Amino acid sequence: MIKIKSLTLSILVFFFAFSNCLAQQTRWFTLEELIPGGVDFYTFYPRHTTQYQWHGDQLVQLRNDSVWISDNPMKQTEKVVFTFSDIEDIIANGEDIYHLQFPLSADSPVQFFSRSGSGFYDIKKKQPLSFFTYPDKSENHDISVESQSLAYNISNNLYILDKNGKTTAISSEENKGIVYGQAVHRNEFGITKGTFWSPTGNKLAFYRMDETMVTDYPLVDTSTRIAEVRNIKYPMAGMTSHEVTVGIYDISTGKTIYLQAGDPKDRYFTNIGWSPNEKHLFLAELNRDQNQMKLLMFNATTGELEKLLFEEQHPKYVEPENPVLFVPKRTDQFIWQSKRDGHNHLYLYDVSGKLLKQLTSGNWDVTEVIGFDEKGNNLFFASTNPTPMDRHIYKLNLKNGKSTKLTTVSGIHNGTMSQSGKYLLDRFSSHNNPGMMYCLNTNNNKLTELTSIKNPYSDYLVPTVNSGTIKAADSITDLHYRFVKPADFDPAKKYPVVIYVYGGPHSQMVQNSWRYGSGGWEFYMAQKGYLVFVMDNRGTSNRGLDFENVTFRKLGIEESLDQMEGVKFLRSLPYVDHNRLGIHGWSYGGFMTINMLLRYPDVFKVGVAGGPVIDWKYYEVMYGERYMDTPQQNASGYEETSLLNKADKLKGRLLIIHGDNDPTVVWQNSIQFLDACIAAGTHPDYFIYPGHGHNMIGHDRVHLHEHITRYFDDFME
């Protein structure tokens, strides 16, 4: 659900570079420095001054407005290739180019981006190949490098602009409830977009979504002279959902066909992928109950279903998130990611649907397939092996199935392969390293450092962060936490503690990244004398299927038991003031915050919940039914997890914060909770961020954190 945005912010924070050296630590952090949107945030925001990309096996460096290339990336014998202004002068439309994207293939042109469009540039011939001016009001620009065509939306319709400047309307639908070429199924199942170019760019697969049967949910814009309603389509758990079909437009024939996938009711079509020869389109079909997945192969010319390759089932749910990934040079073999053995692993299939072999296995997850070498002999992936706190990069020999660990230092490794697979560019951070990049020769494991992040906070009083594990409520599972303490922490004193919680699926708050992922508001609170405790309970990600799906049909219960183990741990510490425990979280974490306050009313003195789900019946079909089934199927589970039924249990101080235009966790949730509290005679506090959606962005985010902080200051005494 919301974790995507939340984690994005967390990831930003990972890269904060706070000082831990001894000299000159005199300055205090302000929220304007710590919070994204703050006026001083970007001044202090640490970045690598150079961006690195691969072009063949050459290492390309984008520095300010010039491009440098190293023929031998291990030696950094770099040279200027051209400057941004070289291109700007040639395309002569008066605009700055703000980004260049080099292709991995050394033979392909460079793509450049300006405010009004994007184009291709031949660096050898030093001439532009094409430029696409984004049409007025166009969105979701998706360019095929191969055919140099631009797919885009205007409102609910889909268009293609080719390199000759010809525009083709793929759809011309007047009913705004029918949408072409946009992400469907509320971006679940790994869906992030609605257009899928074929390998040569001659065909475009796209989603068509009919939402006309979905209830309108009203959002009100109060910033206009008189308030105005803007309806969104929001299918709530158990209610009628939208219907999706998949079309393919053929540029050469100008015709569109639709996959003959049958009745689109109550089914999800996801993980769209092309065969290398463009003859077939693969997709995963999921039933509404989300406990059965079929991998299907369609004829991309006729739309006929040619083969059901295989099925996956699970008593709780299956959740395919990655399309078929064909092995280079082998048009009949692809990689499939599945959690079928309890962890996310890689499987090699042929196009008949025959499993050739399980490529990885073990008590850990593959978190990302980084790529192949160009011959298709080796695959590179990141994983949680040997610890979910780290991400290491492995080289997998597809012939013998043997994996070799390429990275050695404990921490988060984020890799990009060169074309041949000979070189790995590694963006690395760990709890005591704010960030560095190095290049590794995958043949001999030699490495050379490219750059490292400087610490902009060397003169600040910096809180300390440590990590550790406690046992979950099942007494078996290890749970990881981070623990933030003031710079002048004195174990002889008693401190108030704020637990920061998310706790939902698709999240991992604690990793071995810079300061274990802490920073931002946590540092601000530590600076004010609070301890901050963050722990990933069961139900969160990257720990395998059983760890995650233990919460099935009863969201918030196991999670709470685990968080209470965190409370027990905190209470075992002599420096923790038992009477001053607070809790804060957003979205799923907002749900968890209120949930904890109501389930354990004598434990928490103060809670602050943002954008909270209050009753899963108000949440949407895709995410909601995966974890909760429908209200009809699981009445007791909805009853048991609803916070509306527990409004009378509120005892501590609770501040609820919501954006009045939240399209993710609709406003109804928190408003109806207020209503339940009023009926029950309990007294939460409340705040609105007008015009904001699920998360507060821009400078208002600073105000938000002042507001949250003030509430703890008001009532934690």
Give the footprint of its own copies on this chain (CB under 8 A).
215, 217-218, 220, 222-223, 225-229, 234, 236, 239, 617, 660, 666-668, 671-672, 674-675, 678-679, 681, 683, 685-691, 700, 703, 706-707, 710, 714
Q: Which one of 365, 390, 629, 662 is the catalytic residue?
A: 662
Decide whether 320 or 624 has the Cβ nearer to its own copies: 624
Rounded to whole angstroms, what are the CA distances from 654 to 81, 433, 651, 714? 58, 37, 9, 12
* Distance in Å, CB of 685 to its own copies, minimum: 6
Decide whether 38 or 589 has the Cβ nearer to its own copies: 38
> Is 694 annotated as catalytic?
yes
Decide whether 279 or 707 has the Cβ nearer to its own copies: 707
Contact 510/534 with Cβ under 8 angstroms?
Answer: yes
Strands (E), 211-288: 216-221, 228-233, 243-250, 255-258, 267-274, 280-287
Of 262, 301, 303, 306, residue with least CA distance to 285: 262
Decide whether 65 or 639 has the Cβ nearer to its own copies: 639
Q: Which one of 6, 467, 587, 670 is the catalytic residue?
A: 587
User: Edge-to-edge strand order for the sheet containing 378-383?
Assistant: 366-372, 378-383, 392-397, 403-405
Of 608, 441, 496, residue with least CA distance to 73: 441
Decide whether 342 or 690 has the Cβ nearer to its own copies: 690
* Distance in Å, CB of 678 to its own copies, minimum: 5
Q: Which one of 280, 345, 431, 694 is the catalytic residue?
A: 694
Which residues, other chains included, contact 174 with Cβ-Cβ below 8 Å and sequence gap of 6+?
A: none
> Is 699 annotated as catalytic?
no
* Distance in Å, CB of 659 to its own copies, minimum: 11
> Is 85 annotated as catalytic?
no
Decide whether 236 or 396 has the Cβ nearer to its own copies: 236
Pairing between β-strand 216-221 and β-strand 576-586 as defined by DSSP bridges: unpaired
Contact 385/391 with Cβ under 8 angstroms?
Answer: no
* Distance in Å, CB of 139 to its own copies, minimum: 26
Measure the CA–CA gap between 543 and 536, rounded to whole angstroms. 10
DSSP conformational letter for 109: P
Cβ count within 10 A of residue 448 = 13
Rounded to whole angstroms, what are the CA distances from 62 to 447, 450, 695? 21, 13, 32
Decide whether 231 or 302 has the Cβ nearer to its own copies: 231
Measure the CA–CA gap between 315 and 270, rounded to whole angstroms. 20
- DSSP result, 105-124: STTSPEEEEESSEEEEEETT
* Distance in Å, CB of 607 to its own copies, minimum: 16
* Distance in Å, CB of 623 to its own copies, minimum: 16
Using the structure block, give the residue that is written with the tokens 């959902």: 241
* Distance in Å, CB of 712 to its own copies, minimum: 13
Rounded to whole angstroms, what are the CA distances from 625 to 114, 194, 237, 287, 318? 42, 23, 6, 11, 12
Contact 171/162 with Cβ under 8 angstroms?
Answer: no
Decide whether 93 or 240 has the Cβ nearer to its own copies: 240
Contact 484/522 with Cβ under 8 angstroms?
Answer: yes
Q: Tokens standing for 136?
A: 């007025």
Measure the CA–CA gap between 501 and 509, rounded to whole angstroms. 9
* Distance in Å, CB of 221 to its own copies, minimum: 9
Using the structure block, give the residue that is written with the tokens 């390998």: 199
Residues annotated as catalytic (active site), given as ranges: 587, 662, 694
